[in-house]
A and B are shown apart, each in its own frame.
Chain A
């Protein structure tokens, strides 16, 4: 018994340590683009993910209790699935640059989850159902997919606003030639660097291209602005947008299936497939936000900047649904019951 428990704890330590070092290496890779950082971070993250799944299996084997029924188990799975998804995306879209952020958030979620570890607890009667084995992993996986979308949206927005800023800086720089006062209010290092780089390159500011190109960034990069070089080494805005879409396209069917299996379970446990319980209702709100995302994404004019803001908002609601509802609002789903 103790031996097993140690194996369980050991795996958790391996997972957390791998995530922390892996996340740091990959975040460093995001900024420095040194291959060796990716070669260090990627295997560590994979090891951490495998250790986490192994930990959940060992825990189940040891206790005979489905390990996902409290916040500790659920957040463990969330972390493991988020890392699994980002490994897939990193591999499929050559996107290791984004993985560090996902893993860092997963590690924080896992560390928070560990504080909810109450030891082994048999589940309350309403959680003693085979639906628990189906519903919880699906919902948690959808949240993990939305986390991946969130991180790519954040990168999209950073690149988008950097482009805007540098393009804007170029305009201001042009004005500044005739208006010295204009420069005085904008003497920030970023501004100075970008402005100088653009003037050296003799680039005219251009409006944002429809296809997600970032001409101002490219020009500033060509002129030697390190920040612009770093940003332009990221995929184009449209490529980032497509990745976000792909992540939401995993999350939205999953949360739909999660709501459906939750409804099937609710019908069995509480008598009605829909009770307007805060948790299921918050999940419905999450579903609505991503449904709005998908509809906006069908429109050329809305695809990109605005849909990515919706993805950011959507993840805010995911966090509220996942943790906020349990903390602030009591209901049938509260883990503490």
Chain B
């Protein structure tokens, strides 16, 4: 089966610094895979390369066989890739509802003229969008907050709002950048369930970056480990946990004198 997302020896430099080196990925449809690595390993850079925020120095990125390497972010989104951010990027003064509705922006069936004279298309299109957004808010238990400015929402709800916003773009592939950041163990528990539920309910492929080992080991079917831009290991959770290179990257080299 052809992969949903394919990264073909992607390399990216920031000036002289090699942030990502020869990164390969074949993400099959419907999977939930993870990417881990210490701080500064280049994980978020991978997401930025996929979504068009950066253009790779070398290599190609394919989404459903389409070469999206040089696409701008908004085009990438319109093809069906949505993402969340490590540090929440919500539109703070806009209402929760508007945060979601913006994500339906590129599917609107009216232009500036339609908006100006308030054409029939405008009303039907807006109604559809609002209903869809309300439905999403309900699914994520945010419907009471629909008319509150996003900045007034507590952190956990903002996390959910951001995921809901990503889903509002009707993606086929969802990229989650450290969704468990700043969450307590109970919230992490719920998050893991939610990610699995999202994958099944929206029939998505999910690729996840996470620091939180419990999340990655608990739900990811296959994990890739990065360190200093290099892929150092790949496999299922038990492979990874026993891989000496991974242990070294996270805990440092095992000194011989420790054994005496």
Query: Are A and B genuine complex partners?
Result: no
